[in-house]
Structure 1
Amino acid sequence: MTLLNRFVFPLFLLVFAGAATAQPLPEPQGPVILEVTGQIAASHDGAARFDLEMIEGLEQHVVDVETPWHEGPQQFTGPRIVDLMAAVGAQGAELRFVAINDYAANMPWEDIETYDVILATRQNGDTMSVRDKGPLFVIYPFNDVPDLRNEVFYGRSVWQVKEIKVLP
């Protein structure tokens, strides 16, 4: 057995086997505001359910952005979607975001790996009500990446998110 096969290949297996398995998620203690379904490892009865505290327990990121839906600059806070997908052990090619009113939009997996797309729980420091496009809003870094300012990415910026389906 070569040095490469003896040491590197087992290390490769350990790294990727660990990435494919998510830690068990606790049961939500508050109202469920998000269900993640589809190609996921961490689930109870086929879905990973999150309350606000669980989502805000993930590493939080701040995006300062101007959107077509708000007056002036806004600050959104929430976890990166790629981190949320890692927490549930998601493996897919596409994500389908479903809103409370059943509006849905698909996002290629590459978007969450290429851009710091967040699932915002806060706008300007405050939790967002349904009336204010909450409680969850997909936010792209439009100010950091001006090429995202177009109808394709605006259409993927779903607000009032209630479910994310991980598609193969």
Structure 2
Amino acid sequence: MSFRLLLIAAALAASGTAQSQPTELPTPEGQVLLVVTGEIAATNKADAAHLDRTLLEALPRHELETSTSVTDGVNRFEGFLMRDLLEWVGAEGDTAAAIALNDYLIEIPMADFHDYDVLVADTMDGEALTPRDKGPLWIVYPRDDHRELQDIRYDYRWVWQLYRLEIQ
């Protein structure tokens, strides 16, 4: 295992400790895909968590098959659970403001991420998501697994081209 991956593993392990103590995350070496700010305990640049693909891929990987309101049929998404990311950065709050590259913003109750296996997908049907096709990160709900998620209120929370989370 490379030294960088050992640092990432150590940061992941440290995130399970008391959240009142700040934790320093590894510094991203690649292009930053996601910035998490606000009420978080683990940071790596000022008061924010700047995360590149390598850092995000250190989180446990999950798959989800579901339909969406903007694609045809059932798609297979891969990525990490939002709750794993929030635990890793020591997020404390009631709301996550999700912001897309086009400045779309919606406030999502943090309870969603604990009540459902909400995925931050980086692939769809085996293909890496790019900004041209809703990537590089897309918040995906398991809508086919829960009738209540088949509601327009939840459809608004499917943020594609996600690049920022502000924990409030």
TM range (shorter): 0.7 to 0.9
In structure 2, C-alpha distance between the alignment counterparts of 1:22 and 1:83, rounded to whole Å: 17
Distance 1:107 1:63, change over 3 A: same
Aligned to 1:5: none
Aligned to 1:10: none
Aligned to 1:165: 166
Q: TM-score, normalised by structure 2?
A: 0.86
Aligned to 1:28: 28
Residue type of the partner of 2:40? Answer: I
In structure 2, C-alpha distance between the alignment counterparts of 1:49 and 1:25, rounded to whole Å: 9
Q: CA deviation at 1:24?
A: 2.4
- Between Structure 1 and Structure 2, whose CA radius of gyration is higher? 1
Aligned to 2:133: 132
Distance 1:22 1:115, change over 3 A: farther
In structure 2, C-alpha distance between the alignment counterparts of 1:139 and 1:20, rounded to whole Å: 30
Q: State the percentage of identical aligned residues.
A: 35
Secondary structure at the aligned position of 1:18 is classed as coil
Q: CA deviation at 1:142?
A: 0.5
In structure 2, C-alpha distance between the alignment counterparts of 1:94 and 1:111, rounded to whole Å: 10
In structure 1, C-alpha distance between the alignment counterparts of 2:20 and 2:48, rounded to whole Å: 17
CA contact (8 A) 1:21 1:89 kept: no
Distance 1:17 1:61, change over 3 A: closer
In structure 1, C-alpha distance between the alignment counterparts of 2:31 and 2:17, rounded to whole Å: 33
Secondary structure at the aligned position of 1:68 is classed as coil
Distance 1:40 1:161, change over 3 A: same
In structure 2, C-alpha distance between the alignment counterparts of 1:135 and 1:21, rounded to whole Å: 31
Deviations 1:85-118 (A, max 9, x none): 0110110010000000000011101100100001
In structure 1, C-alpha distance between the alignment counterparts of 2:21 and 2:80, rounded to whole Å: 19
Question: Could you say which structure has the higher strand fraction?
Answer: 2
Aligned to 1:40: 40
Q: Unpaired segments of 5 or more residues in structure 1? A: 1-15
Aligned to 1:69: 70
CA contact (8 A) 1:39 1:91 kept: yes
Alignment RMSD (CA, Å): 1.5
CA contact (8 A) 2:19 2:41 kept: no
Q: CA deviation at 1:68?
A: 1.1
Distance 1:21 1:74, change over 3 A: farther
Secondary structure at the aligned position of 1:75 is classed as strand
